[in-house]
Amino acid sequence: MNDKTFKTVAGLAGLGLVIGAWSLIQRLMYGLNPVAFGSYVPWGLWVAFYLFFLGLSAGAFLITILAYVFCQEKYESLARLAALTVLVSIVCELLFITLDLGRLERIYQFLLTPSFTSLMFWMFILVNAMGAIYTFKLWFMVKGYEAKVRSLSWLSLPVGLLFYGVNGAFFAILLDRPLWNNGLTPVLFILAALLSGGALITWLGWLFRRDQDLTRALGRVVLGLLLAFLLMELCQLVVAWWSGGALARDALKALLVGPNWWVFWLVHLGLGSLLPLFLLSCREAPASRSALACLIIVVAFVAARYAFLLPDLMSLRVQGLEDAFVHMRLSTAYAPNLNEWLVCLWVVSLGVLLFALGSRYLPILEREQGGEHV
């Protein structure tokens, strides 16, 4: 990253941190009082962003696995960049999910009083394990200890697969949640993760390397993943429709024609899927077009995560609940407020700043020398 680009990116991230700090302070001072979600829609924008960063880390994880476990040399040039991406994404994931806790100061309870039957506990363990592995892995990459990098890559393979699988199962096990409660959800999660993360790495690879062939090759992989993801999403909705009954129909109604219909139709399907599909389908198109398609997929993927998360929460488990006791926290209507958006801005800005600093001061863009320093 050259001086000018670095200063611009760091400056923008700094501005985001300053603006977002206002809401972050509100969050830390007043707990979850300044947010718009409530008890019937208990998770909102921050959890959607958590899922978004989860996806980004997964795609980057795949690149490091291809390079160091499956020895695909063409991906080695992107491996350090991918490792940095995984690490920064995990930092953002952890921040989002920690800020979403009603009593975040008790996070140590995960270690003091763990519940081994809870998938959230395993998520906590696995995300921290991934964070630790990738911290060391990046360090060893930078130092050129290739043998250690390969060992850690082998270790990260089962840990990573478990982590991304558990995140899907986290939703799939919930009773009476027709869109989530089926066997397709963990598969959809893995595909979503590979798609968004793969698209990010393709775009970053183009941004930093300008490698036409690699970008085109990755673009084709992303195209395949996009088609597979859309097919799986369709399967999930159809299965829910045919098997879920009234609750499923409520959830689908919230997704397709509810107040946030445009998130699904316009942002996720239109902008985030059909446009990239068109851009990636042109065989003779320049690599820059593939990179642009991937950037669009990444940016719009927040909408895909939002569209996955909200409809099932917005459908009432027991009819009439909203009318029985009226309060804004006991409502299925949810639209993120400014505080939530500004906290997102703060965390994303922090992620961008960390990434800019990493790519500026760590030798992540130097080609692998293949030297052993064990």
Partner 1 sequence: MAQPLPVEDHLIRMQRDLKRALGRDQAKVRWSMVIDQARCVGCHACAIACVAENKLPPGVVYRLVLEEEVGDYPHVGRRFLPRPCQQCQNPPCTKVCPVTATYKNPQGVVVVDYNRCIGCRYCLVACPYGARTSDFGEWYTRGTAELDGKLVGQKAAAQGYEAAPAAEYSKTWPARGSGSPQGNARKCHFCLHRLAVGLLPACVSTCIGRATFFGDRNDPAGLVHELLGSPRLRRLKESLGTQPAVYYLA
Nearer to partner 1, 210 or 317 (CB): 317
In this complex, which beta carbon is closest to partner 1, that of residue 146 or of residue 312? 312
101 binds partner 1 (CB under 8 A): yes
* Interface residue with partner 1, options 6, 110, 261, 265 (CB under 8 A): 110
Nearest to 357 by CA among 77, 91, 21, 7: 7
Q: How far is CA 284 from CA 137, 148, 215, 276, in A?
A: 37, 40, 13, 15
Taking the complex as a whole, how short is the minimal distance between the CB of residue 295 and partner 1, in angstroms? Answer: 32
Of 150 and 329, which CB lies nearer to partner 1 in the complex structure? Answer: 329
When asked if residue 277 is in the footprint of partner 1 (CB under 8 A), the reply is no
361 binds partner 1 (CB under 8 A): no
CB of 162 to partner 1, least distance (A): 16
Quick one: which of 7, 210, 317, 373 contacts partner 1 (CB under 8 A)? 317
Name which position in 2, 3, 4, 102 contacts partner 1 (CB under 8 A). Answer: 102
Quote the least distance from Cβ 292 to partner 1, whole Å.
37
Q: How far apart are CA 109 and CA 295, in angstroms?
A: 39
Minimum distance of partner 1 from residue 312's CB (angstroms): 9
Q: How many residues bind partner 1 (CB under 8 A)?
A: 48
175 binds partner 1 (CB under 8 A): yes
286 lies in the binding site for partner 1 (CB under 8 A): no
Binder among 5, 7, 14, 30 for partner 1 (CB under 8 A): 30
- Binds partner 1 (CB under 8 A): choice among 5, 72, 118, 212: 118
Does 243 interact with partner 1 (rule: CB under 8 A)?
Answer: no
Piece of the chain touching partner 1 by CB under 8 A; list 49-57, 65-73, 120-128, 195-203? 120-128
- Nearer to partner 1 (CB atom), residue 33 or residue 369: 33
Cβ of residue 83: shortest distance to partner 1, in angstroms? 28
Rounded-to-integer distance, Cα 311 and Cα 248, Å: 9
Residue whose entry in the numeric block shows the structure tokens 């670095």: 6
Q: Measured between alpha carbons, how far is 45 from 14 in angstroms, rounded to an integer?
A: 22
Q: Which stretch binds partner 1 (CB under 8 A): 33-41, 48-56, 192-200, 235-243?
A: 33-41
Based on the shown chain and the rule CB under 8 A, indicate whether residue 25 belongs to the binding site for partner 1.
Answer: no
Based on CB atoms, which residue is closest to partner 1, 8 or 109? 109
Please, which residue, 51 or 296, has the CB nearer to partner 1? 51
C-beta of 2 vs 117, nearer to partner 1: 117
* Integer Cα distance of 117 and 201 in angstroms: 35
Site for partner 1 in 322-351 (CB under 8 A): 323-325, 327-330
CB 178 within 8 A of CB 240: yes
Residue 29 in the binding site for partner 1 (CB under 8 A): no
234 Cβ contact list (under 8 Å, min separation 6): none
- Residue 70 main-chain phi, psi, to 5 deg: -95, 5
Task: Give contact residues for partner 1 (rule: CB under 8 A).
Answer: 30-33, 35, 38-40, 42-43, 100-104, 106-107, 109-110, 112-115, 117-121, 124, 173-177, 313, 316-321, 323-325, 327-330
